[in-house]
Structure formats: structure tokens, C-alpha cells
Structure 1
Amino acid sequence: MCPPHQLGIRPRSSLRHRIPGTAAAWTWTASAALMCVVFIGFATGQLMVMKQLATALAIAVAVDATLVRCLLVPATMTTLRTANWCAPRALRRTGGKPAPPAR
């Protein structure tokens, strides 16, 4: 999503054209659905702790895949417009490149 913005394309147009091309939406939706199926499989076990954990994880993955990735991220990026592309001070000092790992 960053290259169209760096080329001067408006943030809304950048989002509209680049979100479908980043990682196809069906890829992470299918992987989230598969994780939910696995967690629900664990929820059918005998241990109460395992049932509770598996149910909580299945709900968390489903909420993340639907609400967060499909609704909140694009809405936030549309609302913030150019503020999406502001780098933190530490990253700006390196010229936009990630800082080297600490030794």
C-alpha cells in the first residue's frame, strides 16, 4: 500500500487499489476458518480448561478475521488519511529503513 502513496496517489485511492492485491482476502479468511475448525475440534474434548481455551481462541480468531481485518483496519486507514504513512521518530532517523537489531 505504501508505493502508491509515495507516488502521490491519494490515500483513499491507494487503499482501494492495493488492499485487494496485498494478500488475497480469501487467503487469511480461509486460514482463520481453518484455525477456528481446529479450535472447535479441541473444544469437543473432555477437559474443561481445554474447552474454554479452544472456544476463546476460536472466537478471537473469528473476530480478528472479520471485524478487525475487514472493517477496522480499512476504516482507520481511510479516516487517518496521510497520518497512516507518518513514521515514528526512530524510523525517520534511519531514512525509512528499519533500525538494525540491538546487540
Structure 2
Amino acid sequence: MRKGLLVGFVDDNHLHDLGKFLFAFTVFWAYIAYSQYMLIWYANLPEETVFYMPRVTGSWMYVTAALLLFKFIVPFLALLPAGQSAITRTWPLSVF
């Protein structure tokens, strides 16, 4: 950590807590987005699908996939608790 005005106040526990908050908000963001999508899909609300249809078809499909990858999957795997990090090292190998 660089030296600055908060050298005596901010330690590793503070940074660990910030990482936990970031992990929690990442999971919460994905939960809210998935819940909204699932509710609209399950209720079969055609007036609400106007928002989702352009975003999951055509050229916007790649933007949606990148959003899912870089706003949920990458942060989720990077911010897993320390006890789970050994699993994430072997996880890509277990996919194949």
C-alpha cells in the first residue's frame, strides 16, 4: 500500500472489508438483474420484453455477454473468499 494521509488508520483489515463489500454488491447486482429477467420471463409480460429483446439478439448480444462476464463472472471469481481461492485455481481445468 502506498504511503499517504491515512497510513496509520487504513490497514489490511480495512481493505479486506472493502473487498467483502464489493463481493456482496456484485452478487446483489446479479441477483437483482436475474430476478427482474426471471419475473418478466415467467409472467410472460410482452410489454416488458421490449427492453430485453434488442439486448439479447443482434449486435447487442455481445455487449450483454461482455457485461455479464466483466460485471459478474470476473469480479465474482476474483473476490471469492480466501478459503475458496484454491478451488478457483483448479476450476478452469475442471470445465474441460
TM-score normalised by the shorter chain: which range applies? 0.3 to 0.5
